[in-house]
Amino acid sequence: MAFEFISAQLARQHELLRYRKRNTVQLDSQANNRIVIEGKSYLNFSSNDYLGLNGHQAINKAMQEGVDRFGASASASSLITGHHYAHQALENDICQWLNKPRCLLFSSGFAANLALLQTLGQSFQGKSAAEVEFYLDKLSHASMIEGAYHSEAKVKRFAHNNITQLTAQLAKSSNENKLIASEGVFSMDGDQAKVGELAKLATNNNAWLYLDDAHSIGVIGENGQGSNSLADIDITMATFGKALASSGAFIACNESLHDYLINFARHYIYSTAISPAVAMATRQSIAIAQQEQWRRDKIIELSNLFTDLLDKHIVLVPSQSSIHAIIVKKEEKALSVSQQLKEQGIWLSAIRPPTVAANSSRLRVTICANHNHQDIKRLAESLNKALN
Ligand SMILES: Cc1ncc(COP(=O)(O)O)c(C=O)c1O
C-alpha cells in the first residue's frame, strides 16, 4: 500500500502520548478571556492574545472600514499589484514605532523567518553560501531552525543563552557574513535573550543580530517596542498573530536588506500580500499597544500574583513576559494536569515533544491583560491541587 508509513507514524504518536488533535474553538460572547469548546466554557490560559486586544471594538472597526475600502483580499502578490496603501501605511507605522529605516510584511512569522534565513543563506552568481554563517540559540523557534537548515549557509547552534559559548564560536570564525539569531522572548519558556550582550557581541564581531520578537512585541519595553527598546537590533522579525491580535508578520531592517528581500526572497515574491483590511486592523492594534501601558503593567502585576500564589515546590521558568512555563518532564504528567484543569473549567494545553525537548513536557501558562485577580487565584488553586 502506498504511504504505509502514515498510519505507522500516527500509531507511534499515540504510543508516545504525543498525538495531537485540534479543538474547534468559539469565543465566549461574555468575556474575551474565555473559550467555548464542545459547548463548555473555559477560562483560557493558552492564548497568545497577550494584550487582550482580540475583539477590541476599534480594531474590529478598522478591519470593517478596511474591507469596505479595499475588499478582503490584496488580490495579487506585493510585486505585481498587491501592495496597497494599507500595507505601505502599516510598514511606515512600524518603522516609526521601532525606529527602523525599512519594514517588509509577510503572510506569517513562519514565512518571514524562512524568507530571511533562506534568502541570506542562498548561493548566487558564483558566491557560495558557505561564506555565510548563522549562529542560532538552541531554543530558537522551529521556523528559524527550518529556515537555517534549508539554506546553504553554515549553521552553528549555541546552548540556550550561553554567551560564553557563542563568543568562543565567533572567535574561531574568519567569515565576513555572520548572523546571530535568537528570540526576544522564548516561546516555550518565556525567558528573554540577553539582548544587550548579543548586540555587543554582534558589533564586536562585525556580525548582524536577528531577533524574533514574536512574543516580545507589544509586551516588552517602552511603548511595547520589544527588544528594540533594549539595544540596537539589526533585524527584527515579529508576528501580528499574538499580542497584536491580527495575522501576518514583518521584518524591520536597513534599506539594502529590505531591497534584497524584495528582489530575492521567494516567500515574499511568490505569495499573495496580506489582506489590506488586516493591515488596517493591525495599524489600529499597534496604536493601542503603544498608548495603553496599563496592559503591560497588568501582565506584570498578574504574573507576580501568580508566582506568589503557587505552592513553593512548583518551579516556574523565570520570566518577565506573559509566558510562564511549569516543566513537569513527562508527557503523561502534562496531559494529566491539563485534563484535571479542564474538568475545573480551565483551558491549559500540555506542551510536549517535539515542540519542546524530550523529557521537558510542560504546562505553558499565558497571563494576559484581559485576566483578573480572581482568574489567577482560580488557576493557582487548581495547579496547586493538580501538582501536589
Ligand atoms: C518565536 C516564534 N516565531 C515565529 C512564529 C510564527 O509566527 P506565525 O504564527 O505568524 O507564523 C511563532 C509562533 O507561531 C513563534 O512562537
Question: Cell numbers at residue 23, please?
Answer: 479543538
Q: Decide if pLDDT at 181 tops 70.
A: yes
Q: Decide if pLDDT at 125 tops 90.
A: no
Tally of CB atoms within 10 A around 49? 22
Q: What is the pLDDT at residue 179? A: 98
How far apart are the C-alpha atoms of 246 and 63, rounded to whole Å?
Answer: 10
Question: Cell numbers at residue 280, please?
Answer: 488596517
Q: Is 242 in the pocket of ligand 1 (CB under 6 A)?
A: no
Give, for ligand 1, the residue of 182, 239, 349, 351 to mutate: max count of ligand atoms closer than 8 Å to Cβ: 239
How far apart are the C-alpha atoms of 66 and 64, rounded to whole Å?
Answer: 5
Architecture of domain 57-291: 3-Layer(aba) Sandwich (3.40)
Mean pLDDT on 311-334 = 96
Q: What is the pLDDT at residue 131? A: 87
**Sequence ranges of the domains in the chain:** 17-51+293-386, 57-291
Please report which confidence band the pLDDT of residue 264 belongs to, taking 50, 70 and 90 as the band edges: very high
Q: Decide if pLDDT at 292 tops 90.
A: yes
48: nearest Cα among 335, 220, 240, 294: 240
Q: Is 110 in the pocket of ligand 1 (CB under 6 A)?
A: yes
Q: What is the CATH number of domain 17-51+293-386?
A: 3.90.1150.10
How far apart are the C-alpha atoms of 152 and 117, rounded to whole Å?
Answer: 10
Residue written as grid cell 548563522:
134
Give the contacts of 97 (CB within 8 A, at least 6 positions apart): 223, 225, 286, 290
pLDDT in tens, 130-139: 689 999 999 9
Q: Is 216 in the pocket of ligand 1 (CB under 6 A)?
A: no
Q: Is 226 in the pocket of ligand 1 (CB under 6 A)?
A: no
pLDDT in tens, 194-251: 999 999 999 999 999 999 999 999 999 999 999 999 999 999 999 999 999 999 999 9
Distance 150 CA to ligand 1 centre (A): 18
Please report which confidence band the pLDDT of residue 29 belongs to, taking 50, 70 and 90 as the band edges: confident
Q: In CATH terms, are 17-51+293-386 and 57-291 the same topology? A: no
Q: Is 210 in the pocket of ligand 1 (CB under 6 A)?
A: no
Atom 9 in ligand 1: residue holding the nearest Cα: 109
How far apart are the C-alpha atoms of 279 and 216, rounded to whole Å?
Answer: 20
Please report which confidence band the pLDDT of residue 126 belongs to, taking 50, 70 and 90 as the band edges: low
Atom from ligand 1 closest to the CA of residue 249? 10
Please report which confidence band the pLDDT of residue 27 belongs to, taking 50, 70 and 90 as the band edges: confident
Distance 236 CA to ligand 1 centre (A): 13
Catalytic residues: 48, 141, 183, 187, 212, 215, 242
Q: Decide if pLDDT at 180 tops 80.
A: yes
Do residues 66 and 285 lie in contact, with contact meaning Cβ atoms separated by under 8 Å?
no
Q: Decide if pLDDT at 52 tops 90.
A: yes
* Dihedral (Cα; 290, 295, 301, 306), 10-degree rounding: -120
148: nearest Cα among 187, 119, 105: 119
How far apart are the C-alpha atoms of 124 and 152, rounded to whole Å?
Answer: 11
How far apart are the C-alpha atoms of 10 and 233, rounded to whole Å?
Answer: 42
How far apart are the C-alpha atoms of 337 and 388, rounded to whole Å?
Answer: 11
Q: Decide if pLDDT at 129 tops 70.
A: no
Residue written as grid cell 506542551:
351
Q: What is the pLDDT at residue 128? A: 67
Do residues 22 and 360 lie in contact, with contact meaning Cβ atoms separated by under 8 Å?
no
Sign, CA dihedral 96-100-106-111, equals negative
How far apart are the C-alpha atoms of 321 and 285, rounded to whole Å?
Answer: 19
Mean pLDDT on 288-300 = 98
